[in-house]
Structures are given as structure tokens and as C-alpha cells.
A and B are shown apart, each in its own frame.
Chain A
Amino acid sequence: MVAQPTIDATRDAGMTVEFNAMGGPCELRLAGLPADSANRLARAAIEEVHRVEAKFSRYRADSIVSRINAAAGGKWIACDDETNALLDYSDAMHAASDGLFDVTSGILRRAWDFDRSSVPSAARLAELLPLVGWTRVQRRSGEVRLPERGMEIDFGGFGKEYAADRAAALLLDGGALYGLVSLGGDVRVLGPRPDGRPWSIGIQDPRDPGRIAAHIEVIEGALATSGDYERYFDLDGQRYCHILDPHSGMPVAAWRSVSVLAPLTVVAGGHATVAMLKQAIGLNYLDSAGVPYFSIDAGGHFHYKNIGKH
């Protein structure tokens, strides 16, 4: 669900730090702070992003997520408060999306190989679908258990956004008033430019990585984008992307991208992903959530509401 917005560089931009984390390019902008303070804060923020990444990465055998997954079908795993909070959030997201946002759906990737450009057989999906289901995840005071071998959880659906919010909170508490945190294109704005003007965040054209489809002005809050162009293959004129419906196991196809503006990056990213998953009624969903959005449908048409697009 990574869009790659470019952030336009203008004067008064202050300090910019680029780094890699969460599987993508990241950027910090801090303005209006003395250089020492800005450096100190930036270091702490980047450290926090790496901490979240290391702790919850499914690629690291020692992460809590890997330990939960390794114990699937076996013993209960005790979780710390932060992990329990993410599990609570997974539960809330599942409920808010009528079961479409499901942190156990990652195993469908075993059937979808985006490098080979082939659509898995119905039989292959039918094998995997029984292993998908948040409601089957067992929880008791501070512990979690996956009931069946082969089941997995994965916080990838909001881990990046969570890290962006954590880093932003740390910067704001450190006295940063002007700047932004961008993790792989999901942007949390701390505050406007020092002169009060908004940051202009580019939304990538989903069909042309070098082109910006629109600029969105953000003074504070977060802008996150979910799109069909992060991992995908095209076959017979049909796009198959990595956002998969947990009920059918098939990629969503109604929207090329959905960008949402919300107070927190987790909320913006959550709404954007759920709107993708809701497909035909994605915009009804966003309307009911009452959030400003900018979306591009499968035909390339723009739909937007309450957003400072230009």
C-alpha cells in the first residue's frame, strides 16, 4: 500500500534527513529548530522507527510477530503492552472494516507470486483461505495464540503508519513545530512550514512512477495512500495487486489508489486500505468515516472530497 509521494522542496524547508526503513525510502523534515536540537530529535525519531521495525518485522526470526507465528497451533505467547495494543488495534480494524482488514491474511502471499505473474488456481486459494480469519485468533490476559499450524499474523498493514505516528509524537514532544515524517510515502505532518504555509505532498500517478497525479496541501495531520502499484503484475489487461480480499483471496480492482487525510497516520492508512478493500463502495465507506480523501478509480478518474488538491 505504499504510494511514493514526492515532497516539493522549497526554501524554508529546514533540515531534511533521508533514510531507509520499513522497506522504503523515508524522510524527515524539521524546520525552525536550532541545528543541534534538530539533529538530536531526528536521531531519536529515526531510532524509534527502526525500533518499531525490528520489534514487529515478520522477516526477523527474533521478532514478537515471528515468535507468535512460529508457535501457531502450539503454545500461548506472552506479549508486552505494546504488542497487545497492536493486537487490540487489529481487532478494532477488523470490526470497523466488516472483516476486510485482517492481519491474518498475509499467508495468501504464498499463493500470489507477483514476480511470476500468474494467477493462482481456485484450489490453491481454497487451501489457504481456511487459515485466514482474525476471529480465530485466541487471546487471553496478555497472551495470544494462533490455533492452527500455518496461520500467521502480520502488522505490515499499519506498522509503517504506527512508526510514523510514534516518531511524530516524539518530535512534537521535543518541541518541533514545523516539519513532517514520511515513511515510504505515508506522511505525518507535524506542523506547517515556518511561515505558516502548508506542505505540498505529491500523490504519485499509479500508472506512471515518474509523474505526480496531484498535490495535496497539508498543514497538520497525516496523509496516507493505499494503491495497486506497489507490488503487482498485469496479465491480459487486468491488474493483479497485493491488496487481497481476505474472503475471496483475490486482489482488489476498483481503485488505483486511495489517499486519506486524517489526524493520525494509522487512521489515514487504515481508512485508505479499507476503502481499497471495500472496492465499489469504497467511497461510501470514506464518506461515512467523514475523512477527506483523494482517490483514482480503475479508469483513471479522480474522486475527491474536502481536500486541498491542486
Chain B
Amino acid sequence: MKRLRPARPGFACCLAILAAGCSFIEPVAPWEKGTLAKPEMGFDAARFDARYDEHIYTSREAAPAASGVGGGGCGCN
């Protein structure tokens, strides 16, 4: 099995490429965003649920469950 290596140096490039790729997409006009405004279409809609997910996974898996920054640790780590 080929080992995967951390993609650290490519991280910034990655974002630049994604941003460039997105510019080919037809922009969505403000009046077309009714659906996008639904809470379930947002990424921080489940902010109360995120705490719960951390509860489930932090004490059982190696990868940090927190998706943001500065969440604070606990002894279960």
C-alpha cells in the first residue's frame, strides 16, 4: 500500500486552485438564494450539534473531532 503523505506544502495552492475553479461557475444571483438561506443548507447551522459530535468522537478516535479553533481540550484526549 502506498503511504499517504501529509499535504502540508500544498495546502495554500489547494485553496487557490479551488477558488480559481469556482470562478468558472455561473454566479448565483442574490434573489436566487432563497433555498441557500435555509438553515440546513448552512455549515454552521448545526453549531449546537457540533458540541455533541465532539463528545462522541474525541474520546474514541485519534483525529480531533473539533472542526473549528480554540475549542479547548479535555482529559479524554
Contacts and interface: CB of A to CB of B under 8 A. Distances in A.
A177 B38 contact: yes
A186 interface: no
Contact of B32 (A172, A177, A192, A263): A263
A14 to B, nearest CB: 16
Nearest to B38: A177
Secondary structure class of chain A's binding surface, majority of residues: loop
A220 B31 contact: yes
Interface residues of B, number: 6
A219 B31 CA distance: 11
A172 B31 CA distance: 10
A221 interface: yes
A264 B34 contact: no
A191 interface: yes
Interface in B19-54: 29, 31-32, 34, 37-38
A220 B29 contact: no
Contacts of A132: none
B29 A263 contact: yes
A88 B38 CA distance: 34
Contacts of A192: 34
A219 B29 contact: no
A264 B37 contact: no
B34 A263 contact: no
A244 interface: no
Contacts of A41: none
A191 B37 contact: yes
Q: Name which of A190, A192, A220 has the most chain B CB atoms within 10 A of its CB.
A: A220
A263 B31 contact: yes
A219 B32 contact: no
Interface in A100-155: none
B32 A191 contact: no
A232 to B, nearest CB: 33
B31 A177 contact: no
A153 B34 CA distance: 35
B31 A264 contact: yes
Interface string A257-279: 00000011000000000000000
A191 B38 CA distance: 10
B29 A177 contact: no
Interface string A7-19: 0000000000000
A151 to B, nearest CB: 35
Interface in A185-219: 190-192, 219
A220 B33 CA distance: 9
B38 A221 contact: no
8 contacts: A177-B38, A191-B34, A191-B37, A192-B34, A220-B34, A263-B31, A263-B32, A264-B31
Interface of A: 172, 177, 190-192, 219-221, 263-264
Top 9 A-B pairs, shortest CB-CB distance: A263-B31, A220-B34, A191-B34, A177-B37, A221-B31, A264-B31, A177-B38, A263-B29, A220-B31
Given A177-B37, A190-B34, A220-B31, 4 more contacts: A191-B34, A192-B34, A263-B31, A264-B31
